[in-house]
Amino acid sequence: MSLDALLKQAAQELHAAGSTSPRVDAEVLMCHVLERDRTWLYTWGDKACPPREQARFEALVAARAQGTPVAYLTGEREFWGLRFATAPSTLIPRPDTETLVELALSRVTQPTGRLLDLGTGTGAIALAFASEQPGWQVLGVDVREEAVELAIRNARTLGFANARFIQSDWFAALEACDETDKRFDMIVSNPPYIAADDPHLAAGDVQFEPRSALVADAEGMADLLYLVQSAQSYLTASGWLLLEHGYSQADKVRKALKSAGYQSVESMRDLGGHERVTLGHL
């Protein structure tokens, strides 16, 4: 069967299964199997797919039809123009989170500095920032050992020597550091912020991602509020705190930051027009 015919068949199957991007999903899976890019796929769509590759492709399509995220099937996802290895132990990097990176970069006023990424997962936020600011030292922490190992692997693959990763339950591992090493010019985080009873947890890619990286107490606000209060002890004078949150949580996060004494507090919208990141400085 030709590549075009296989892709058409796969797209129909994925559409029937409820995929919101069936053709794109099919093309990404085919490119992964053939180790080719989509330009090649468009050019040579009339070529026959070798039997072994066809069987592997059909197996991946079947798994995708059952809901398994494409990023877990291929083991990678692009973020900030960089390719990151992914795994079921971490959240899948999403385009909306690039808003957090953009805002962090926009607050850089000096060629050197220190940034802390809390709950780093794949290391996407930390490494995206590191790629744009080679003079900054970037530290990413995550409570899950598997996530830290994955972030370290991504850093080595991408070749960013100014980023390192350690295992830590939020700030815990920094307690033993001296005052200089535990202070950062910028702290960023995409923490858990979904309420335990949110129906979105049972839909789409989210149902396959680690619940511990998604769900927080107090209707999703617990970790956000903790970070607002705790980050002050780890920021330099005038240091920035930037937090990604749910589309309906911006007002609560702004109020928490202002109550804690942060200045220049504001929220920024993501690609979908939702208030997604709230920030302020000491």
Residues 212-227 pLDDT 10s:
999 999 999 999 999 9
Token pair listed for 8:
């058409």
* 112 and 214 housed in the same domain: yes
Q: In angstroms, rounded to a whole number, what is the distance separating the alpha carbons of residues 93 and 85?
A: 10
Does a structural domain hold residue 96? yes
Say how many domains are in the chain: 2
Is 36 a member of any domain? Answer: yes
Verify that 109 and 242 share a domain, yes or no.
Answer: yes
pLDDT band at residue 29, thresholds of 50, 70 and 90? very high
- Asked whether residue 149 is domain-assigned, the answer is yes
Q: Kindly state whether residues 63 and 115 are assigned to the same domain.
A: no
> For position 150, what pLDDT does the model report?
98
Q: At residue 23, does pLDDT exceed 90?
A: yes
Residue position matching structure tokens 């809901």:
67
Mean pLDDT score, 252-270 = 97
Residues 63 and 92 in one domain: no
> Residue 257: what pLDDT?
98
CATH number at residue 33: 1.10.8.10
Report pLDDT for 146.
96
pLDDT (0 to 100) of residue 91: 95
Q: What is the pLDDT of residue 141?
A: 98
Q: What DSSP state is assigned to residue 248?
A: T
238: three-class secondary structure by DSSP: strand
Give the domain-ending residue among 17, 35, 67: 67
Q: Do 7 and 112 belong to one domain?
A: no
Question: Looking at the predicted structure, is the pLDDT value of residue 179 above 80?
Answer: no
Are 144 and 219 in a shared domain? yes
Q: Is residue 82 part of a domain?
A: no
In the chain, the percentage of residues whose pLDDT exceeds 90 is 93
| Residue reference for tokens 């590759």 | 53
196 with 132, same domain: the answer is: yes
Q: Does the structure show a pLDDT above 80 at 37? A: yes
Q: What is the DSSP letter of 219?
A: T
pLDDT of residue 177: 79
Query: What is the span of the domain harbouring residue 63?
Result: 3-67
**Do 156 and 260 sit in the same domain of this protein?**
yes
pLDDT band at 175 (very low <50, low <70, confident <90, very high): confident
Which of 67, 97, 119 terminates a domain? The answer is 67
Residue 164: inside a domain = yes
Average pLDDT score over residue span 144-164: 97
- At 47 the pLDDT is 93
Q: Encode pLDDT of 191-209 as tens digits.
A: 999 999 999 898 889 999 9
| pLDDT tens digits, one per residue of 95-133 | 999 999 999 999 999 999 999 999 999 999 999 999 999
Token couple for 207: 């149902």
Confidence of residue 275 (pLDDT cuts 50, 70, 90): very high
List, as own/partner pairs, every contact residues 91-97 make where C-beta atoms lie below 8 angstroms and the sequence separation is at least 24, other chains included. Answer: 91/121, 91/122, 91/190, 91/209, 91/210, 91/213, 91/214, 92/205, 92/209, 93/121, 93/122, 93/124, 95/271, 96/270, 96/271, 96/272, 96/274, 96/276, 97/124, 97/125, 97/190, 97/244
Average pLDDT of the chain is 95
Helix, coil or strand: residue 253:
helix
Q: Return the pLDDT at 180.
A: 75
* Per-residue pLDDT at 176: 77
Q: Are residues 162 and 224 in the same domain?
A: yes
Residue 268, classified by CB atoms within 10 Å of its CB into exposed (0-12), middle (13-18) or buried (19+), is: middle
Beta bridge partners of 118: 141, 189
Same-domain status, 259 and 184: yes
Does residue 110 sit within a domain? Answer: yes
Of 37, 67, 97, the residue at which a domain comes to its end is: 67
Locate 92 and state its tokens: 């899948």
Please report whether residue 219 resides in a domain. yes
User: Same domain for 259 and 157?
Assistant: yes
Distances (CA, A) of 128 to 85, 125, 155: 14, 5, 10
Whether residues 94 and 58 fall in one domain: no
Residue 80 maps to a domain: no
pTM: 0.93
CATH code for position 225: 3.40.50.150
